[in-house]
Structure 1
Amino acid sequence: MDGRQYKRHKAEQGVAMVEFAITLPLLLLLLLAIGEFGRMLYQYNSLLQASRDASRFVAGKAWNRTLGKIDLTSDQQLVTRTKNVAVYGVPTEQPGSEVVSGLTTADVMVSPEPGTTDHVRVSITYTFSPVIGTVIPGFFGDPIPLAIPLQSTVVMRAL
């Protein structure tokens, strides 16, 4: 060692603190965006699994052997129970225990697959809204909407 020590100049004191203060909001915004994206993917995965479960449920019960095709019109309770399976995970209504919070039976559509006689379709439409709100105010124009529509559709052959 040559005995020299590094001395800071008076003009450089506090520069690191200013740089940290400038970058911290950007890093927090990035962290929040990553968290919200992960939450959106989790909710989409839950919707996809719910539509699979509901499709499997209705595919096992919708086949009419007499007609030789799917019949959803004769048993209206089957459609209601299928929607409950999609929203609550069970055929009976369980208020407050939705698979994805805010999902309702009105968001679920159960129908025969067009063009076939032995397939049934279950579609779930849900609007994801981030924790921070549904819009970012626009400073120089219209507000930017943050609500993202998620849709899960499963087609399954009747058993």
Structure 2
Amino acid sequence: MIVQGVRLKTRQRGVAMVEMAIALPLLLLLLLAIGEVGRLLLQYNSLMQASRDASRFVAGQAWNRTLGRLEITAALQDQARSLAVYGVPVAQEGGRPLVPGLSPDHVVVSVQGADHVQVSITYPFLPIFGNGLPDLGNGETPLAFSLVATSVMRAL
């Protein structure tokens, strides 16, 4: 009986290594996917905060007390875009955007109704590990998609 137990152990030799070789790529892919989702949520959170800050800034500056209505000038729009992208109302030379790849072209400042302002940021999210997944003969499925952060505030 002991001999059979030894034979069974010798037959099982290397099975753990084969199991690890099969499972390790899947576990690494899962770890990479979790990291990408975390990075996506971090960037979306940064975009939402930037959108809120810019809309709060515009809501405080856009109300014309003399005329009793909203007036969003081109200068105010530029300041709001700069605030949403760089975190400050006046763009500084060599400033880094809050989210990599974000530019003032991604920010839209508009009036909603009679007394609300809206700041919307549309950001193209690109995964770190590539632009697409290969298909079977059809090219590749793109992995890039747009993150949209919008906030609406009432003018003060």
Q: Distance in 2 between matches of 1:120 and 1:100?
A: 23
Q: Distance in 2 between matches of 1:145 and 1:76?
A: 36
**CA deviation vs aligned residue, 1:48-96 (integer Å, no higher than 9, x gap):** 0000000001100000122211111xx3111100000000000111334
TM-score (norm 2): 0.92
Mapping for residues 49-68 of structure 1, pairs under 5 Å: 49-68=49-68
Mapping for residues 10-159 of structure 1, pairs under 5 Å: 10-72=10-72, 75-94=73-92, 95-113=94-112, 116-159=113-156
CA deviation after TM superposition for structure 1 residue 142, in Å: 3.4
CA deviation after TM superposition for structure 1 residue 155, in Å: 0.4
CA deviation after TM superposition for structure 1 residue 43, in Å: 0.2
TM-score (norm 1): 0.90
The alignment of Structure 1 onto Structure 2 pairs a total of residues equal to 153
What residue identity is the alignment partner of 1:130? P
RMSD: 1.8
Q: Distance in 2 between matches of 1:32 and 1:151?
A: 24
Percent of aligned pairs with the same residue?
56
Q: Distance in 1 between matches of 2:95 and 2:154?
A: 31
Q: Distance in 1 between matches of 2:104 and 2:9?
A: 68
Unmatched tracts of structure 2, length 5 or more: none
Unmatched tracts of structure 1, length 5 or more: none
Q: Which deviates further from its counterpart, 91-100 or 149-158? A: 91-100
